[in-house]
Amino acid sequence: KINISAWIIGAIGIITCSFELAVSFKPPAQLQVKNTFWYEAILIGSNIIYLSVPLFIYVVAKRRKTYAI
């Protein structure tokens, strides 16, 4: 049986996160950014680091064939 409410909540979450990610690439007016390239490079780099940690944990757990959940 398909749980439609879980799909709706999941879709809203994905849309919200995608919108937030797109908006975050524009520097805020309060922040004096001299070079937009470095602002975006730091933002992308931090996202890569942020996303690589759970991916690393998943790969290690998959090799051991044990999962925390």
The angle formed by the CA atoms of residues 58, 44 and 7, to the nearest 5 degrees, is 55
Residue-wise pLDDT for 16-42, tens only, equals: 989 988 888 788 778 788 888 888 888
- Backbone CA torsion sign across 18, 22, 23, 25: positive
pLDDT at position 2 over 80: no
- Per the CB < 8 A criterion, the answer to whether 30 and 37 are in contact is no
Q: Quick one: pLDDT at residue 66?
A: 63
- Residue 32 vs residues 1, 17, 19, 37, 59: alpha-carbon distances, Å: 52, 25, 23, 13, 40
Q: What is the pLDDT of residue 67?
A: 60
What's the chain's average pLDDT?
85
